[in-house]
């Protein structure tokens, strides 16, 4: 049986390519710190670390965006309109916090420096549930 030139070329290329790296091993044990969210029955969810190291999250059933300073353990809460039902958030490179107003048909942008919130309503009335950013 004769091998095709393409098969030979493929085998030569596979032999010439560097091996894929394996799983990195570490000698350190990770340290895990947990903080209790101080807002009861609020369904905190979807944490994200911002560019400044602060940990942002939403309280879906209590209509808020909150931030944790992991250095001090302090929380700061930004209340949203009643019924907003934020589902998740993202923090952009400028530190602006974007959240989905899951039950209030909008995407919101929180400016943490001023506390101001800008809402962007869904352009199509049929879209009632902006969910995940």
Chain segment 7-57, per-residue pLDDT in tens? 665 555 555 556 566 666 777 887 888 999 999 999 999 999 999 999 999
Mean pLDDT of 2-9: 59
CA angle at residue 21 from 20 to 23, to 5 degrees?
A: 130
Across residues 110-126, what is the average pLDDT? Answer: 91
Count of structural domains, the chain = 1
Segments forming the whole domain that contains residue 55: 37-121
Percent of the chain at pLDDT exceeding 90: 59
* Within-domain flag for 65: yes
**Domain for residue 9, yes or no?**
no
- Report yes or no on 133 lying in a domain: no
Identify the CATH number of the domain in which residue 104 sits.
2.40.10.500
Measured CA to CA, the distance from residue 112 to residue 31 in angstroms comes to: 29
10 domain residue, yes or no: no
């Amino acid at each position: 049986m004769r091998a095709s030139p393409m098969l030979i070329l493929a085998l030569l290329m596979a032999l010439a390519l560097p091996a894929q790296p394996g799983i990195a091993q570490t000698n350190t044990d990770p340290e895990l710190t947990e903080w209790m969210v101080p807002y009861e029955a609020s369904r905190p969810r979807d944490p994200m670390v911002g560019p400044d190291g602060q940990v942002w999250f939403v309280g879906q059933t209590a209509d808020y965006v909150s931030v944790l300073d992991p250095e001090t353990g302090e929380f700061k809460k930004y209340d949203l309109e009643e019924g907003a039902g934020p589902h998740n958030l993202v923090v952009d490179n400028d530190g602006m916090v974007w959240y989905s107003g899951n039950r209030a048909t909008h995407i919101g942008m929180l400016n943490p420096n001023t506390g101001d919130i800008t809402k962007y309503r869904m352009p199509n009335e049929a879209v009632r549930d902006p969910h995940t950013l």
